[in-house]
Chains A and B, each alone.
Chain A
Amino acid sequence: MKLLSCKEATSLVSQGLDRRLGLVERLNVRLHLLVCDGCSRVARQFAFMRKAVRQLGERES
């Protein structure tokens, strides 16, 4: 188990939206987000963007 950098952490958070992460990956990400406000915000922002992009085109007119 190693400490992730913010770059690695955000990359894994992103991958977590596209594939099932391994156990070690999930633990590492959770550990990082626990101590890093910046990456936690980015994780929430990724989820928000998914929601926003998914509903694009539904509010035309």
Chain B
Amino acid sequence: MRTTLRALFLILGATLALWTSGCTQNPPTTGGPSGATSGSPGTTTQTSAATGDIKIGCYFSMTGGTATFGESSMNGIRLAIDEINAKGGVLGRKLSYQLEDTQGAQDKAALAVQKLINQANVDVIIGEVASSSSIAGGNIAQNSGVPMLSPSSTNEKVTKVGNFIFRACFIDPFQGFVMARFAKDNLKAKTAAILTDKQSDYAIGLAKAFRGTFEQDGGKIVGEEFYIQNDTDFKGQLTRLKQLNPDVIFVPGYYTEAGLVAQQARELGFKGPLLGGDGWDSPKLTEVGGEALNDSYFSVHVDVESSVPKVQEFVKAYQAKYSANPDTLAVLGYDSVYLMADALTRAGSTDKAKVRDALASTRGFQGVSGTITMNADRDPVKEAVVVAIKDGKAVFVTSIKPAGGDIGTGGDTAPATTAPSPAPTGAASPGADAASPAASPAADASPAASPAADASPAASPADASPAASPAATEAPAASPGTP
């Protein structure tokens, strides 16, 4: 018996190892093939017929587990290029692009950028979504002195690669800052607790920035607890936090855990708001969390339901071209092309150093995702949107600008908040109930998306719906994989 058990124990160890590796293989699930409704996956090349074209090199994951990332980004990029060309191009020349597939892998990303620079001789580069791939590709671009702009990599380290690397989105710690300011100024919270996903750099970064800003503003962090991804039971941690009576709980993780956390927090009788970052931005959030999420808030890059004309024009053009609703990645891809075009115009040539300088001196650029000014770190200083969850839908609350451009350590200026707009348009999903998977603004932006919204999960898996939301869903999931 003794030997049996010993053998058994050895096997258990081996199995554990096997299973753990199985766990890590668990892909950050995406809509998979269903995402590939428009545009073909794989390496697509659109060679410029005329040598006079300004060539934009693009590298994205067009196949593999994060294929919807590349798909959405490229949809935004193609739309912007078509629009610019229809208006006569830039510097009197047309824009063209060459796309390389990274399959979501870092080494492939580096190869793709090498190919773009050495074989295709591109003038500028736009890519990737996942921060780890942007860093790998960024190193090559930096060494070759080609300006690169990542539309949506939020990890701080991306633009630290070098002075030729830019991005079009805000960075992770900024969201912690935004939610701390929001808790303090809009929710009038005096105390807060934090429940952090200890395995994710993204969540840790947000938690750190939240703590810093909240305490600096005179608030008190009464407690911090931790969990790890794929945990399902948070009651122990929540029991401890509830005992400390915080006004709000900040949960800077991803949507699946956030939904469960909300449920369990309500079961334990915590009634205050829960706060999160763009890791919550998914239709799956309310599918899991249901009514427990009512009156909770999270930050996102852009509100596609916004009545701002610029946003509405973009949404209309996107729907006309792709018969789908744009998600965050499409918006950021679209803005990236316009940022590049703006820099090229101001540089007056395609000289790479001049384009770089022009990009670095971008001030007050009006994009769909907000007004962008590049700071000294080549990160945009732009506002984030805070949305509230009301009956399973994300509703615009306010947008918060970085104070004095100094992210995370904000000065004495109060955050500039715009007046809450009556955001939910009449078009938003008729008959959506609490169970409807319509958390993402993209999902209920138009009537086209609503059939998916009021059907229950079984009949219509959200990722089969025409809305491009699954990609938005996974956008934040790109960050945890970052080095």
Is B truly associated with A?
A: no
Residues of A within 8 A of B (CB): none
Chain B interface (Cβ within 8 Å of chain A)? none
